[in-house]
């Protein structure tokens, strides 16, 4: 498809279980972001991948959260031992970056994964 694809669209899991969320960015986009959005709240930055550079993990809320991006394309966000406060919509975005000042134009978002921990 032409856009950013995320799966699953909805996930209900039991507290304590591990979950994996997948993001398939737009082909050729070098930058990939994960955000979290709780009900009625703003976007919370989680992690940022840019090409072959080391990812910016500064937004990950705890060591239960990890993410990887294989081959510069698909990314997986893993949450271990899920807690109820992890319930949120997890959004992935990708963009091109031509490098240099002003090299980024627009980030495209997927429709998100709605995670519910019960």
Partner 1 sequence: RKEVEQDPGPFNVPEGATVAFNCTYSNSASQSFFWYRQDCRKEPKLLMSVYSSGNEDGRFTAQLNRASQYISLLIRDSKLSDSATYLCVVALYCGATNKLIFGTGTLLAVQP
Total residues binding partner 1 (CB under 8 A):
29
- How far apart CA 99 and CA 118 sit, in angstroms, is 43
Is 28 a residue that touches partner 1 (CB under 8 A)? no
48 in Cβ contact with 60 (< 8 Å): no
Contact with partner 1 (CB under 8 A) among 48, 65, 79, 117: 48
Is 109 a residue that touches partner 1 (CB under 8 A)? yes
Residue 7 parent element (H or E): strand 5-7
Is 104 a residue that touches partner 1 (CB under 8 A)? yes
- How far apart CA 17 and CA 19 sit, in angstroms, is 7
Is 101 a residue that touches partner 1 (CB under 8 A)? yes
Q: Judged by CB under 8 A, which stretch of 13-21, 36-44, 61-69, 78-86 contacts partner 1?
A: 36-44
Based on the number of CB atoms within 10 Å of its own CB, is 75 exposed (0-12), middle (13-18) or buried (19 or more)? Answer: buried
Residues near partner 1 (CB under 8 A) are: 31, 33, 35, 41-43, 45, 48, 50-51, 53, 56, 91, 93, 95, 97, 99-107, 109-112
């Amino acid at each position: 498809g032409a856009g950013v694809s995320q799966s699953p669209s909805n996930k209900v899991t039991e507290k304590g279980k591990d979950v994996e969320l997948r993001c398939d960015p737009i082909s050729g986009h070098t930058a990939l972001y994960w955000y979290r959005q709780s009900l009625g709240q703003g976007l919370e930055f989680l992690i940022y991948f840019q090409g072959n550079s080391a990812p910016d993990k500064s937004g990950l809320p705890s060591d239960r959260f990890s993410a990887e991006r294989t081959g510069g394309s698909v990314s997986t966000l893993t949450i271990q031992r899920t807690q109820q406060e992890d319930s949120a919509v997890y959004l992935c975005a990708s963009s091109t970056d031509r490098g240099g000042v002003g090299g980024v134009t627009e980030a495209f978002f997927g429709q998100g994964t709605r995670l519910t921990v019960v």
